[in-house]
């Protein structure tokens, strides 16, 4: 199993994204673009679409993390991905015609006695037995004097004890009763049966002669052993000690598919006797201020520091408002980066990109201000004349729109990144056309 790699650094007038070798974008070729040209944003567009990264920002004193990781996987009849949060296991076989049939698909996550990261969100355990686990996370505070609504639920205060420490509630969903005459005591967190919410009665105060009641609402997930998973009934739940297992019930008819944070695509089912898959993993989660005590390290020399009531984000000892970290594998050595043991993507023609200028005589289709013409650009792949074991993809147009047409063709799958045939594209009223 190999993970795609890429890193953004600045060298002179160029943005360089470092990578491993193979012109196929599944192996993240090294990208070079003039950082002062209009083409510079295109490098980031390619990176965000094809390259693995971790984005971290502070929003309203909450840490928001977005991870995008790519895997190119060769397998005999099964593979497993363990990302330290959960484990995806897939078993398959080939039928007599060579088609893939999935035999077993499982997703596993371990949990402790308190907090648990489950499917990209942080939960706590509200209730746990050998056969059932109820997870919850807080959503919002609500103040009311008689009733309130949340999602499709309506909660009505029916009665109050003399000391204000207990309430009687009626709860309905979409106008139908869910729970009547529910007694809730101040401070108790109550999971509402036949629902995916929990309620805590926090306090009562006075506004003039009116009683105001403060509630906290929680989202809940109920996991019952050998029952369907309530968020996706294609899966059955298995609880095994401190492990939650979600097993796909009928995987045989799946082709390319998504499962929770993963997207699985078959790319080649008969290469060197192996089957190849592209797997994308996207994980978005939050870390709240109250869950941070001092400093929390997020990997890649990135840390969050809690100072009083404020959060601060650091990388390599320097403070930032937000950070995008692209993963890397290669190092550029020497004065001529084309000697580097890596494939390349060069964005921009010989006028805007000095590295393209070095190899312009090797291009299959020359790029000038007049060729291939107004609003037109070319994607072409050549052997690297400075390092013949590797290849160079050149994305360039006669003008800004021509280069943009090529970038959109690549991002939208109009151009197959494993194709080595030169193709010309035109931007016509915002639409990309292939020029025959």
Q: Is the pLDDT of residue 378 over 90?
A: yes
Burial of 25 (0-12, 13-18, 19+ CB in 10 A): buried
Q: Is the pLDDT of residue 6 over 50?
A: no
pLDDT tens across 192-211, in order?
Answer: 887 888 999 999 998 888 89
User: Which token pair is 167?
Assistant: 């309430």
Burial of 206 (0-12, 13-18, 19+ CB in 10 A): exposed
Packing angle between helix 40-50 and helix 400-411, nearest 10 degrees? 0
Q: What number of other Cβ atoms are within 10 A of residue 293's Cβ?
A: 7
pLDDT tens across 112-148, in order?
Answer: 666 777 887 778 888 888 898 888 887 888 999 889 9
User: Which token pair is 289?
Assistant: 């201020």
* Residue-level pLDDT at 29: 79
Determine the 3-state secondary structure of 339 from DSSP: helix
Using pLDDT thresholds of 50, 70 and 90, give the confidence band for residue 420.
confident
Q: Is the pLDDT of residue 258 over 60?
A: yes
* Residue-level pLDDT at 37: 87
User: Which token pair is 193?
Assistant: 């049966």
The answer to whether the beta carbons of residues 38 and 358 sit under 8 Å apart is no
* Residue-level pLDDT at 21: 32
Q: Which helix (H) or strand (E) segment is 401 a member of?
A: helix 400-411
Q: Is the pLDDT of residue 274 over 50?
A: yes
Burial of 414 (0-12, 13-18, 19+ CB in 10 A): middle
The answer to whether the beta carbons of residues 245 and 236 sit under 8 Å apart is no
Q: How far apart, in whole angstroms, are the C-alpha atoms of residue 135 and residue 124?
A: 6
* Residue-level pLDDT at 328: 55
Q: How far apart, in whole angstroms, are the C-alpha atoms of residue 397 and residue 414?
A: 16
* Residue-level pLDDT at 405: 96
Q: Is the pLDDT of residue 361 over 60?
A: yes
Mean predicted lDDT score pLDDT of the chain: 85
* Residue-level pLDDT at 408: 94
* Residue-level pLDDT at 25: 58
Using pLDDT thresholds of 50, 70 and 90, give the confidence band for residue 36.
confident
**What are the respective helix, strand and coil percentages of the chain, to the nearest 5?**
10, 55, 35
* Residue-level pLDDT at 26: 52
Q: Is the pLDDT of residue 188 over 60?
A: yes
Q: Is the pLDDT of residue 35 over 90?
A: no
Most confident region among 291-305, 386-400, 404-418 by mean pLDDT: 386-400
Read off the pTM: 0.67
Using pLDDT thresholds of 50, 70 and 90, give the confidence band for residue 422.
very high
The answer to whether the beta carbons of residues 202 and 190 sit under 8 Å apart is no
The values of phi and psi at residue 46, to 5°, are -65, -40
Mean local confidence (pLDDT), 51-70? 86
* Residue-level pLDDT at 380: 95
Distance in Å from the first CA to the final CA of the chain: 38
* Residue-level pLDDT at 1: 31
* Residue-level pLDDT at 356: 94
Q: Which residues face 166 on adjacent strands?
A: 185
Interior/surface letters 209-218, b for 16+ CB within 10 angstroms, e for the rest:
eeeebebebb
């Amino acid at each position: 199993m190999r993970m795609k790699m890429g890193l953004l650094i600045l060298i002179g007038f160029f943005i360089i994204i470092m990578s491993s070798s193979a012109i196929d974008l599944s192996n993240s070729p090294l990208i070079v673009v003039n950082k002062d040209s209009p083409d510079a944003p295109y490098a980031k567009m390619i990176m965000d679409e094809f390259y693995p990264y971790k984005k971290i920002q502070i929003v309203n004193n909450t840490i928001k993390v977005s991870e995008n990781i790519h895997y190119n996987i060769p397998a005999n009849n099964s593979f497993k991905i363990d990302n330290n949060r959960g484990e995806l296991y897939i078993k398959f076989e080939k039928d007599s015609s060579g088609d893939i049939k999935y035999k077993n698909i499982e997703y596993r996550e371990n949990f402790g006695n308190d907090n648990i990261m489950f499917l990209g969100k942080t939960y706590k355990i509200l209730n746990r037995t050998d056969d059932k686990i109820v997870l919850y996370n807080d959503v919002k505070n609500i103040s009311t004097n008689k009733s309130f609504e949340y999602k499709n639920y309506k909660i009505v205060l029916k009665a109050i004890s003399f000391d204000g420490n207990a309430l009687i509630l009626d709860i309905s969903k979409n106008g139908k009763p869910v729970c009547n005459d529910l007694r809730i005591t101040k401070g108790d967190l109550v999971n509402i049966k036949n629902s995916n919410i929990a309620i805590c009665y926090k306090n009562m105060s006075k506004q003039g002669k009116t009683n105001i009641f403060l509630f906290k609402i929680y989202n809940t997930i109920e996991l019952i052993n050998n029952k369907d998973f309530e968020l996706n009934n294609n899966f059955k739940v298995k609880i095994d000690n401190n492990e939650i297992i979600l097993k796909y019930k009928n995987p045989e008819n799946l082709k390319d598919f998504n499962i929770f944070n993963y997207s699985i695509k078959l790319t080649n089912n008969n290469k060197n006797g192996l089957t190849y898959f592209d797997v994308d993993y996207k994980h978005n989660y939050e870390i709240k201020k109250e869950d941070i005590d001092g400093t929390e390290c997020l990997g890649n020399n990135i840390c969050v520091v809690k100072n009083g009531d404020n959060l601060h984000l650091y990388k390599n000892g320097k403070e930032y408002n937000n950070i995008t970290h692209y993963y890397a594998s290669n190092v550029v050595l020497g004065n001529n980066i084309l000697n580097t043991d890596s494939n390349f993507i060069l964005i921009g023609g010989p006028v805007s990109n000095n590295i393209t200028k070095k190899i312009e005589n090797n291009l299959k289709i020359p790029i000038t201000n007049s060729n291939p013409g107004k609003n037109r650009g070319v994607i072409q792949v050549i052997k690297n004349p400075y390092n013949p074991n590797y290849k160079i993809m050149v994305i360039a147009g006669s003008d800004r729109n021509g280069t943009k047409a090529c970038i959109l063709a690549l991002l939208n799958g109009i151009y197959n990144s494993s194709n080595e045939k030169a193709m010309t594209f035109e931007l016509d009223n915002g639409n990309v056309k292939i020029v025959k």
